[in-house]
Structure 1
Amino acid sequence: MSTKVQDLIFGGFPLLRYEPTEMRVRVRDGELLVADTVRAMLVWEPRRIVPSYAVPVADLRAGLTASSLPSIPAPDRILDPGTPFAAHSCPGEAVDLVVGRTRFAGAGFRPEDTELASYLVLDFRAFEEWYGEDDRLFAHPRDPYHRVDVRPSSRTVRIEADGVLLAESNHPVLVFETSLPTRYYVPLDDVVAELTPSERTSECAYKGRASYFSTAGYRDLAWTYPAPLDGATPLAGLVAFLDDKLDVFIDGEPRRALSAPAAGLFNDRFGLKHDA
């Protein structure tokens, strides 16, 4: 009897999970070196989509004290990258890190787990700079089981909003990302809609920093990666649309209905709450 791989992956989401890595991981905040290790682990708390780095306490350049922040109960849903680090979903102890005169409140967590007893999980957003070997890391640690495939295509992609053409291209670039809908990136010259730069930006661990555009009646509807990371360089200068609620036609045919996002599938499967 066959099994869908996605089902196997989701089956482990309610568990505390970890994966060792041989990558050298360094954590800095300005001139302060917080950690430098070749014994890091990737750790996923229960229901977390993306991992955090855990480092051996012996490889920290910081003192540890009980957390000065109040605890935050983890929401009864999938914990996406927007969920605060302090919303822990397993038993453990939150701690502050002290480096010199600088205190990083609640930036560490010790899960109650024998395999992780000598490790401290770190809040990626609490520190200014993370490096994997000598490469700067963005947004969050990369998941070794998450793929982002960027592929040029000769298919014709047409994107409409309520019958109004936004963009049409016969040389798009398609992004196939684990557990996410396919995204269609098109050259700016193939965009018909008038785009106005917005103030919103976001970071992706795999693609880099995105800038957003709005158009008449739609705020932050499109985005671009001006300087994408290695592995996503073909996206430079191209534009993608948040097309989940738009009409997308591939070679003249309506795109198949989008499958539920990973978060929705997981929440439905385990009876957890999720937004519409």
Structure 2
Amino acid sequence: MSDLWADGLQRLRHEPTEMRVRLRSDGRELVDTTRALLVWEPRRVVPSYAVPVADLQVELTPSEQAATPPPDGILHPLIPFAAHSSAGQVMDVGDAVGAGFRTEDPALAEYVVLDFNAFDEWLEEDEQLVSHPREPFHRVDVRPSSRTVRIELDGVVLAESSRPAMVFETTLPTRFYLPREDVVAELLPSERRTSCAYKGHAIYYSVAGSADLMWSYQEPLPEAKALAGLIAVYDDVVDVYIDGKLRTKPGGALAEALRQEFDMSS
């Protein structure tokens, strides 16, 4: 299955949805449609919404802003919308410069792909979206476990717990969420904030020698409510022992990007 997923990743993909999709910005409704498509440009791992041009309630014009050449490899969520991996025309959506993209794919000729982060509010039916559109093929399974998880950084124990929550998420490495009282390192509040389409808004903590290393969902989305208040750590940059056995660090483009980020911030 992972090989099939990797093969499909090289193509421009799209999937219809029956959900009513609405888009608002600056107090104005820009889109209200039941004909949206989820679109993945080649090598993109998270989708964008494409909407019929006829359902767009602001002017759509060719932009003077050019597409940014995408980097090699997987285009993970840290790669901005402007890095387009398919042929097409960058568009201005009302006052939002470069916030649209019309691909040359004939199947999408009547559609414009929109930059999620260029607008204030997206809704599927009456639920507000976080971070990016959710895809129908993505799962996030939270499972309580009695396995012992020990987290070390440069040989120093940061946390150890025999009551972790294991998070198994499609295409991502397993993450380990621990009760805060099982974290022995001093947690220093950070200003960093991130969002996950499936889990919600995260706050971050630093530890001595490493900024923004751990995070927590204080008020997660309903599907991830079991994670409320638990502490997770980037196992891409620390050592994780499961029942005393060292776990191999995750690989891939996102893991490498995270390691580079921590090298620069530590």
TM-score over 0.5 (shorter chain): yes
Q: 8 Å contact 1:181–1:261 — kept in the other structure?
A: no
**Could you tell me which residue of structure 2 aligns to residue 240 of structure 1?**
232
The alignment partner of 2:54 has SS state of: helix
Q: 8 Å contact 1:201–1:211 — kept in the other structure?
A: yes
Aligned length: 258
Q: CA deviation at 1:250?
A: 1.6
Q: 8 Å contact 1:180–1:262 — kept in the other structure?
A: no
**Could you tell me which residue of structure 2 aligns to residue 272 of structure 1?**
none
**Could you tell me which residue of structure 2 aligns to residue 32 of structure 1?**
28
Change in Cα spacing, 1:142 to 1:243, as seen in structure 2 (3 Å) is same
**Could you tell me which residue of structure 1 aligns to residue 220 of structure 2?**
228
**Could you tell me which residue of structure 2 aligns to residue 156 of structure 1?**
148
Q: % of aligned pairs identical?
A: 59
Please say if 1:15 is aligned against 2:11.
Answer: yes
Moved more, 15-24 or 158-167: 158-167
Q: CA deviation at 1:264?
A: 7.7
The amino acid that maps onto 1:202 is: T
Q: 8 Å contact 2:23–2:119 — kept in the other structure?
A: yes
Which of 58, 61, 74 aligns to 1:65? It is 61
**Could you tell me which residue of structure 2 aligns to residue 86 of structure 1?**
82
Deviation per CA, 1:212-270: give whole Å up to 9, x if none: 11111111110001111121111110001112232222222323x245236689xxxxx
Change in Cα spacing, 1:253 to 1:87, as seen in structure 2 (3 Å) is closer
Deviation per CA, 1:171-203: give whole Å up to 9, x if none: 111101112111111111111000100111111
Q: CA deviation at 1:84?
A: 1.9
Residue pairs, 1:1-276, within 5 angstroms: 5-98=1-94, 103-255=95-247, 257-261=248-252
Q: CA deviation at 1:209?
A: 0.8
Change in Cα spacing, 1:105 to 1:60, as seen in structure 2 (3 Å) is same
Where in structure 2 are there 5+ consecutive unaligned residues?
Answer: 262-266
Moved more, 118-127 or 62-71: 62-71
The whole-number CA distance in structure 2 between the counterparts of 1:50 and 1:152 is 27
- TM-score by length of structure 1 reads 0.89
Q: 8 Å contact 1:24–1:132 — kept in the other structure?
A: yes
Q: CA deviation at 1:71?
A: 3.1
The amino acid that maps onto 2:89 is: E
Deviation per CA, 1:69-105: give whole Å up to 9, x if none: 233222233211122212211111111112xxxx111
RMSD: 1.8
Where in structure 1 are there 5+ consecutive unaligned residues?
Answer: 266-274
Q: CA deviation at 1:68?
A: 3.2
Q: 8 Å contact 1:16–1:44 — kept in the other structure?
A: yes
The whole-number CA distance in structure 1 between the counterparts of 2:189 and 2:255 is 30
**Could you tell me which residue of structure 1 aligns to residue 264 of structure 2?**
none
The whole-number CA distance in structure 1 between the counterparts of 2:254 and 2:186 is 32
The whole-number CA distance in structure 1 between the counterparts of 2:216 and 2:237 is 19
